[in-house]
Amino acid sequence: MNVVISKRLKSLEKPLHIPGVPSSEDDFLECFNHFFDKAAMTVNITPGRLQDLKTCNSVLRVEFPFKNENTGDYEIIRAYRAQHSQHLLPCKGGIRFAPTVDLDEVMALAALMTYKCAIVDVPFGGAKGGVCINPKKYTISQLERITRRYTMELCQKNFMGPGLDVPAPDMGTGSREMSWMKDTYRQFHPMDVNASACVTGKPISSGGIRGRTEATGLGVFYCLREFLRIPGFQKQTGLTESVRGKSIIVQGLGNVGYWASKFFHDAGAKIIGVVEHNGGIYNPNGIDPENLLKHWRQNGSFEGYPNSKFYTTDNSYLLLEEECDVLIPAALEKQINFRNAEKIRAKVILEAANGPTTPIAADILERKGIVVIPDVVANAGGVTVSYFEWLKNLSHVRFGRLNKKWEETSNQRIIDFVDECMGKTMADQSRRKILVGGPNEEDIVYSGLEDTMCNAARETYKTAQNSNIDLRSAAFNNAITKIVMVSEDAGHFF
């Protein structure tokens, strides 16, 4: 087993440069650094401090053997955990299972998490983890063994804990994997009463929180809805205030893409196109994402979905270039790049995935007048609700448990008093039930998420206008300023 922990570890698996492709398009970490450097020019902070804010503080790289009972042979599993910043603890970031995972990607995503948390005022440092496997090639039992072994490595190397580093789901993982991780952590810390807070994104029965599954997609919805309410944004994009009637194309029907599509569809928007890894579908009259997901699960493809045009794997990328009001990349990194940016015809790109737009593409889109709402703002809903789950686990009480009945009783007294003054019943029983009802956990989570995303959107737009910069640079500007203030107050700069 090879373990390296350092302040800055260069990747041994860094991909080779592809001839004819600009170098800044090759590497996700380079893309992140480019956006950071661009934003840093708008902040009055010394170069040394900026370099410290860009550098990944700690990295864990492990390799461990795994016996595949199907083949009878051993394979070496490579895994990572990066803690970008410990200016606030715990660090926070997802765990992804994917064959493309490498150290540079994990470090870039960890850095992105630091700034994402700062933008939405979540008091965490940024982290990220990954296991270099294709989860589709393993049985549930095999995935459990790999997940538990990875968790054991994190625990042994002090890269996990409720007050230290709190993982969450990401691409290729979900509540099931988080439940395994929590159980493994508890075996190492059986007397820790806060052990449930060692991961977020857990099942409800294991200490999870209602609303976490749809949190990122709902946050994407709240974010765009709030930007559309800003007169300056309306003028800039040519879009009206309401979500209703907006034409939307979504890349990716995973957790984020599906929930974002559903919330926009329910609000009256038209989902005219959806793209997946094995094809796409287009209908200018609109697609019901719930029905589409059922079709996808039954058939493994969009092919055959009624009243829609099917795009094969070879030409599904063309859907990203269809005319629409909003394009939502909710899949992988670098999907909008120098090859297709010139052909994009959306008015707004709403980044629901991490790093879907490369620096060269961003420059092209800006020149074309296409507004990009960056990932560090748009998809921060997941970490926001993860924060709520962490708080719930530390407080050991369900949100709403202490005040729900009190609020219902108070509301009932107000309605009874109004009825008495008016001399008649103000509302029928069904309406009275709605008016009287106190908030449950999901209501509180949705409310907190909406307030957080709306504040972040307004704050980002205000900085962009005041400094005459794009929204991504404005978001980074706000995050850098907040992190420096916290670090200086705590004396982190020596």
Which pLDDT does position 11 carry in this prediction? 36
Say if 22 falls within a structural domain: no
The one catalytic residue in 128, 182, 334, 404 is: 128
Is the same domain home to 62 and 167? yes
Say if residue 332 is exposed, middle or buried (CB neighbours under 10 Å; 0-12, 13-18, 19+).
middle
Which pLDDT does position 300 carry in this prediction? 87
- The parent domain of residue 220 ranges over 215-381
At residue 237, the 3 state secondary structure works out as helix
In the chain, the number of structural domains is 3
Q: Which of 210, 238, 258 is the last residue of a domain?
A: 210
Say if 459 falls within a structural domain: no
Looking at residue 381, its amino acid is G
Which pLDDT does position 452 carry in this prediction? 96
The pLDDT profile of the chain, 494 residues, written as one tens digit per residue, is: 333 333 333 333 343 333 344 445 657 788 888 888 888 888 888 888 888 888 889 999 999 999 888 777 889 999 999 999 888 899 999 999 999 999 988 998 999 999 999 999 999 999 999 999 999 999 999 999 999 999 999 999 999 999 999 999 998 999 999 999 999 999 999 999 999 999 999 999 999 999 988 999 999 999 999 999 999 999 999 999 999 999 999 999 989 999 999 999 999 999 999 999 888 999 999 999 999 999 989 988 898 899 889 988 888 888 999 999 999 999 888 889 988 999 999 999 999 998 899 999 999 999 999 999 999 999 999 999 999 999 999 999 887 777 777 777 777 777 777 777 876 665 666 666 667 766 788 888 999 999 999 999 999 999 999 999 999 999 999 999 999 888 665 555 44
Q: Residue 34 is encoded by which pair of tokens?
A: 């480019």
Output the CA–CA distances (angstroms, integers) from residue 456 to 88, 124, 476, 477, in the order listed.
19, 16, 12, 12
Looking at residue 88, its amino acid is L
Say if 292 falls within a structural domain: yes
Q: Provide CB contacts within 8 A for 449, sequence distance 6+.
A: 211, 215, 218, 219, 222, 381, 384, 385, 388
Q: Provide CB contacts within 8 A for 227, sequence distance 6+.
A: 233, 348, 373, 457, 461
Is the same domain home to 238 and 91? no
Q: Which of 176, 210, 244 is the last residue of a domain?
A: 210
Say if 280 falls within a structural domain: yes
Is the same domain home to 176 and 192? yes
Say if 119 falls within a structural domain: yes
Which pLDDT does position 25 carry in this prediction? 64
Is the same domain home to 349 and 269? yes
Please tell me what DSSP assigns to residue 94.
E
Say if 170 falls within a structural domain: yes
At residue 279, the 3 state secondary structure works out as strand
Is the same domain home to 334 and 306? yes
Is the same domain home to 148 and 74? yes
Rounded to two decimals, what is the model's pTM?
Answer: 0.86
Say if 413 falls within a structural domain: yes
Is the same domain home to 291 and 169? no
Is the same domain home to 198 and 241? no
Distance (Å, whole) CA 456 – CA 63 = 39
Is the same domain home to 181 and 228? no
Is the same domain home to 186 and 119? yes
Is the same domain home to 227 and 369? yes
Is the same domain home to 89 and 176? yes
CATH assignment at residue 349: 3.40.50.720
Say if 449 falls within a structural domain: no
Distance (Å, whole) CA 229 – CA 245 = 15
Q: E strands of 184-252, at which residues? A: 247-251
State yes or no: is 262 an active-site residue.
no
Please tell me what DSSP assigns to residue 55.
S
Q: Which of 391, 423, 439 is the last residue of a domain?
A: 439
Q: E strands of 263-382, at which residues? A: 270-276, 279-282, 309-311, 324-329, 346-350, 371-373
Which pLDDT does position 430 carry in this prediction? 62
- In the block, tokens 């902070």 appear at 45
Which pLDDT does position 19 carry in this prediction? 39
At residue 36, the 3 state secondary structure works out as helix
- In the block, tokens 């008091």 appear at 123
